[in-house]
Amino acid sequence: MSKLMKLAGAMLAVVIAGPAFAVDLTPVPVIPGLVPAAPAPEAVLLDEAPEELFECVKYVDRHEMHCCAVEKIIKVNDPCAVKCKRNCCCCEEPKCVYIKICVPPCGCEQIRCRRDGDRIRYSYGKYAVDVRVKKGYIVVDYQD
């Protein structure tokens, strides 16, 4: 019973102190000449994929996948799209495709994105999923 009272007191303290931890959400000004980082890939619920899943996906080390893994649909760069090497207005939004990966059910992921979104790592502590966009196909590599 005393543990329950301590927990209730701690929760009440968090609720009361909540406004004291407010975060300033004003936008940060853009520094001229600074290249913005690639945006983090979007995760989509399994039933809400707006398009068909990309089929040219090679899955590596499936035996290293989490034993209770759940399916997750993510949006990645299109490996079949032609990349423009010049900065023009027609190339602002890269073409994307949707693929399915299997991730641990905990949901405490850290996402690292490199090479303009062609290398993505979903890290879950002991487990990780590496997504690499190659020329014409995508490689999904499971790590434990």
| DSSP assignments along 33-52, one per residue | TPPPPPPPPPEE-GGG-SSP
Which pLDDT does position 131 carry in this prediction?
95
Residue 133 CB partners (closer than 8 Å, separation 6+): 76, 77, 79, 117, 118, 119
Q: Residue type for 36, please?
A: P
Domain containing 78 equals: 43-143
Q: Cβ(102)–Cβ(72) under 8 Å?
A: yes
Which pLDDT does position 33 carry in this prediction?
56
Which pLDDT does position 138 carry in this prediction?
94
Interior/surface letters 84-99, b for 16+ CB within 10 angstroms, e for the rest: eeeeeeeeeebebbbb
**Alpha-carbon distances, residue 14 vs 3, 28, 30, 64 (angstroms):** 17, 28, 34, 39
Instruction: Please check whether residue 12 lies inside any domain of the structure.
Output: no
105-119 mean pLDDT? 86
Between 10 and 117, where is the model more confident?
117
Into how many domains does the chain fold? 1
In the chain, % of residues over pLDDT 70: 58
Place of tokens 């089929």: 55
Instruction: Please check whether residue 20 lies inside any domain of the structure.
Output: no
Instruction: Please check whether residue 79 lies inside any domain of the structure.
Output: yes
Confidence band for 4, pLDDT divided at 50, 70 and 90: low
Which pLDDT does position 109 carry in this prediction?
85
CA distance 142 to 63: 8
Instruction: Please check whether residue 123 lies inside any domain of the structure.
Output: yes
Instruction: Please check whether residue 96 lies inside any domain of the structure.
Output: yes
Q: Report the range of poorest mean pLDDT among 32-41, 78-87, 103-112, 127-136.
A: 32-41
pTM, full prediction: 0.61
